[in-house]
Amino acid sequence: MIHVFVGTKAQLIKMAPIMIELQRRNIRYNFIFSGQHQATVKNIRDEFAVKDPDITLYHGKDITGILQMFFWGVRILFFTLWNRRKVWQGDKNGIVLNHGDTFSTLLGSLLARVCGQRSAHVESGLRSFNLFHPFPEEVTRLLTFQLTNIYFAPGDWALNNLRKYRGIKVDTLQNTLLDALRISESAVEIADVEIPGYPYAVVSLHRFENIFSKEKLTEIVDLLLQVSKKTKLLFILHKPTEKKLEQHRLRAKLEACSNIEMRPRYSYFQFIKLIKNASLVITDGGSNQEECFYLGKPCIIMRTTSERREGLGENAVICNYQYAEIERVIDNLAKYKIVADQSTVSPTNIIIDELTRLDG
């Protein structure tokens, strides 16, 4: 049996194409929701028409802090061991699909192995080769690799990073996010979101290493204030970012700037519409980097390194927190616009075809 283990909004967006295709092919699967992020997951399920979870392992506030994650993970581990028949629907040798680099990824991989299932890692092989950038995602990936039996890697570079690990390795050529964008295309056009009548850049920042240090967050806010002299900014308020901006008394600094508009966190379809109409995206998110590559959108990555190759040297620039790098991109935006993805490859179909072969 195929089990899909999901815990966050970003995971669900990238796993939705797989779940939709499983439903389309009438392949039964068990949707296990770890409950790590509660707030926006139902909205994503509704947008992509994905079924409700077969079982939810945790009901409560979103899990964001590292210490909070540890105790939450121990709680879920014991719950799953005590209720393993219910969690796995009686299956004793299934395949558990885990995605990405969140704590839910590591937890799902660990639960699979402890309970005798095979662990399959989607979006496997990504590396920044720096344990602290991003943190704790790089550590999570390395631990997940050790627990994985089947690796689904998006391209040659990711596949090569897995060469020392034992198990079945499959090249999906691209990321399943490409299929998510294709699925959402018509719905994005009619999504209800206010699009400014002037050129603007979307700012989306939420990484641990960027927001949890007052010094680093202050540095980024000062950078954005400089950038706002060049272009209007729409600042997306992720909940952890909003909390830290208020805690460090930086939100008022942004709101006082007439060229910066604070926007709420949107549904996925709304957010993609905002990106498609933007002239530029400034982000620290890997998924945003991939989205900009597939959409052909100029992208500034507010980090020192990235675990993803998509767009680097083409539409995407790692700014290393240097204003000169950001300014160079803004002053030459036409240079960083590329043709949107035109390929017909479907990473989702590659994954499901392999799962069907292994399970058959």
Mean pLDDT for the stretch of residues 216-237 = 97
CA angle 296, 105, 127 (to 5 degrees): 55
**What are the tokens at 278?**
């933007």
Domain 194-265+278-336 sits in which CATH superfamily?
Glycogen Phosphorylase B; (3.40.50.2000)
59, 216, 230 from 226: Cα distances, Å: 42, 16, 8
341-346: average pLDDT: 90
Residue 43's pLDDT is: 86
What tokens were used for 170?
A: 């499959």
Report which residue type is found at 5: F
* Every domain of the chain and the residues it spans: 2-184+345-359, 194-265+278-336
Contacts of 50 (CB under 8 A, 6+ apart): 12, 16, 19, 20, 23, 31, 44
| pLDDT at 97 (0 to 100) | 98
Q: What is the pLDDT of residue 347?
A: 98
Of 218, 272, 270, the closest CA to residue 244 belongs to 218
Three-state DSSP class for residue 118: strand
N-to-C CA span, the chain: 10
More confident residue, 359 or 312: 312
Q: Residue 64 pLDDT more than 80?
A: no
DSSP 279-312: SEEEE--HHHHHHHHHHT--EEE-SS--S--TTB
Percent of the chain with pLDDT over 70: 99
Segments in the chain forming alpha helices (H): 9-24, 41-48, 66-82, 84-87, 103-114, 137-147, 156-160, 177-189, 208-211, 214-227, 239-247, 251-255, 268-276, 286-295, 323-330, 347-359
Helix axis angle for 214-227 and 239-247, nearest 10°, is 100
What are 282-291's pLDDT values in tens digits? 999 999 999 9
- Confirm whether 2-184+345-359 and 194-265+278-336 share one CATH topology: yes
CATH dotted code for 2-184+345-359: 3.40.50.2000
- Report pLDDT for 67: 76
The residues, any chain, with a CB within 8 Å of residue 233's CB and separated by 6 or more, are 200, 201, 202, 203, 224, 227, 259, 260, 261, 282
Radius of gyration of the chain (CA): 20
Nearest to 234 by CA among 269, 264, 192, 276: 264
CA angle 121, 125, 130 (to 5 degrees): 125
pLDDT value for 360: 61
Q: Give residue-wise pLDDT tens across range 193-205.
A: 999 999 999 999 9
In the predicted structure, residue 107 carries a pLDDT above the cut 70: yes
* Number of CB atoms found within 10 A of residue 314's CB: 16
